Structure 1
């Protein structure tokens, strides 16, 4: 007889539009799948009492970065994986290194599943026989004709393409989004055209080719509007955002300096409100951490010299609870869809809490408060504007295939 795990007294959130249900989930730990769920799921060899906490499907991150091996001083595979798992993320679609190499490592010491995102600069780099996830990050393809050829090849292989949506020539040496704060700080601005022009190009080419595309970091009102319109026309586009874009504005760069210097840059209050609305109405499909660890020397200096990026694995869930769930912008079910169900579906994986589904599960307390500090973060890098803030919501336990890994 197979060993089983019974998770009882859990408020189960499926992310499928149903209401949260108090009950139990029975897991076959040998098969790594869910056997039964509901008020009478059965008995288990082992029992975990959730104590009324929420039970979510494990989270999938479509936009994150690992620094190891090139920059292990920022985050090692071990510390980044610990931060991801502690934040509820078991599946990571890691964007390629700056060198252009895809992240494919999966040490035996981490339960994280690395979903390869393959960098491509021309159609010859696409495997016609095998669906995969491709991107032109970190070296955007600027020739629309070549980009169209890449998308046609992706469409032929039923692959997903993640466009960089960044014109480096227009972005130039810009530090933050143009506006009052940029002028006050005397900083070079990144024009909206640097993001909107490549986004429009990607959307048009997706419509023409039928290629599925995913925009990883929608951050402003204009981008939200463009994606919403494209979806209404049947363009096969999905998109995500990061907690910084629904919790902060460009004014926060004044207070948090390099920790708030991200790409895309933080927007205005109107941009933040548009992102929140899009998360609520379904225009934005998922939330990603956009985890980009940096060392203190890289992050704590003159702002124009700081590198772009913020640490995100440790705070993505709690920031989502604090700024979305507690403000009634999303429901618990919608939050599960944004963090778990939708990103898994986009990357071709299954996520859910139903019989037969993988027993990849997260127990979370949405009322617990935590002061973010270097002691509470598992990432080696603490380059986050949330440092010192009190955030609500924390991950209590994580199960991979029914085995507790956090």
Structure 2
């Protein structure tokens, strides 16, 4: 049956649209018409008055934990969490068990994702076993369907190895998706090095670890011509490094995550392991730089770095707990609360960074409400206030430092291919 989304505020940055309108979804799962006072016979009418109707949100940085770590998250719970957060598509990172380093694993993930609550894309591992010793068969990974090659959580240390990887990515027209970190500086640090780490008596991670990794990777991208996508930018220096590289025409795009403009390392007080993440939460100055980077386009998109962990893993001393925090189900609320309500970004600019840009950068379907395009649509209430309750999450895990926090902006529904 066709669906008529009635009377919503249709915001479609890709086509310059921001107006109260109706949107008709055809029975073939594509967008059929947009306009005022649309009518159609034998149609399911969805009242969208007071809601925003936008292109489906896309999160290109998700740890789905499939395969091998399904006790933290699985295909059903991960895509349900995506739907609950307003996302119609997600891209899973390769640091699974085993890593996504073989075409058979890619095919298995995509087969599991058929009929799921969100579209699932895959980032392949740069090396076999993510050991950074032998390159993965990137051509076979591409043929199997990966949208990029990455090293998240296991950044490549040896520059010559990374150069060769980038040369292959350039040849295959695949972006290199980089976790930028110099592990020689990180060593066994557990949070941002600074005042808070000193007060807590915890070993800090100097920001230079991220900054050096970012600069080195950009230089290699310029050398090889490979499109580099920088994951989860968190420091003011990394923002400036990316900004300078873009001014010189470097083939680089970059993202940040809501936690880096919504939280600081003060969230670690009380030894709250849910605030332990990589990169670490930073300072107020870093927050301000992240926001400035979003405003001027240095940071192209907003992703979540959704990183589920089982309760028993987070319920131990800070130094032993794993890095990571849930993100899919709180992202939109954090963005509207911290960027839209204060007037920093408009809703259109937010949708650009959470839908249009990820689709464009990774050459994915979606990102617009163009007639004839797949009906991947997010409907959300930009004014709804709600309190985060981790026990109501669709995710299998509960590791969020936001439990009990009130946010503004709540997803109402998603459509994936009209469904």
Q: TM-score, normalised by structure 2?
A: 0.91
Say whether the 8 Å CA contact 1:68–1:77 is kept in structure 2: yes
Match status 1:78 vs 2:94:
no
Tell me, in whole angstroms, the C-alpha distance in 2 between the residues paired with 1:92 and 1:212.
20
Deviations 1:280-337 (A, max 9, x none): 2211111111111112221122111111000111111111111111111110100111
Choose which of 198, 204, 211 in structure 2 pairs with 1:189.
Answer: 204
Identify the residue that residue 356 of structure 1 maps to in structure 2. 372
* Partner in structure 2 of residue 127 of structure 1: 139
Residue 211 (structure 1) shift: 0.6
| Match in the other structure for 1:49 | 47
Gaps of 5+ in 2: 101-105, 128-133
Once the 2 structures are TM-superposed, how far is the Cα of residue 362 of structure 1 from its aligned partner?
Answer: 0.8
| Aligned equivalent of 2:185 | 170
Structure 1: distance between partners of 2:209 and 2:242: 16
Q: What is the match of residue 330 of structure 1?
A: 345
Q: 1:257 matched to which residue of 2?
A: 272
Alignment of 1:2-401 (within 5 A): 3-16=1-14, 18=16, 20-30=18-28, 32-43=29-40, 45-102=43-100, 104-105=109-110, 106-108=112-114, 110-121=116-127, 122=134, 125-127=137-139, 132-255=147-270, 257-350=272-365, 351-401=367-417
Give the CA RMSD over aligned residues.
1.9
Q: Equivalents in 2 of 1:165, 1:387: separation in Å? A: 29
Q: CA deviation at 1:96?
A: 1.1
Give the superposition deviation at 1:68. 4.1
Q: Is the 8 A contact 1:17 1:333 kept in 2?
A: no
Change (3 A) 1:280 1:395: same
1:42 deviates by 4.3
Q: Distance in 2 between matches of 1:100 and 1:243?
A: 29
Which ranges of 4 or more aligned residues in structure 1 deviate by more than 4 Å? 128-131
**Structure 1 residues 202 and 41 mapped into 2: Cα distance closer, same or farther (>3 Å)?**
farther
With normalisation by structure 1, the TM-score equals 0.94
8 Å CA contact 1:96–1:138 kept in 2: the answer is no
Q: In 2, distance between residues paired with 1:243 and 1:251?
A: 16
- Distance, in Å, in 2 between the alignment partners of 1:373 and 1:111 is 21
> 2:392 aligns to what SS in structure 1?
coil
Q: 1:144 to 1:395 in 2, by over 3 A?
A: same
Quote the offset at 1:70 in angstroms.
2.4
Question: Would the alpha carbon gap of residues 204 and 139 (structure 1) be closer, same or farther in structure 2, given more than 3 Å must change?
Answer: same
CA contact (8 A) 1:13 1:19 kept: yes
Aligned length, in residue pairs? 400
State the shift of 1:15 in Å.
2.5
CA–CA distance in 1 between the matches of 2:414 and 2:32?
Answer: 18
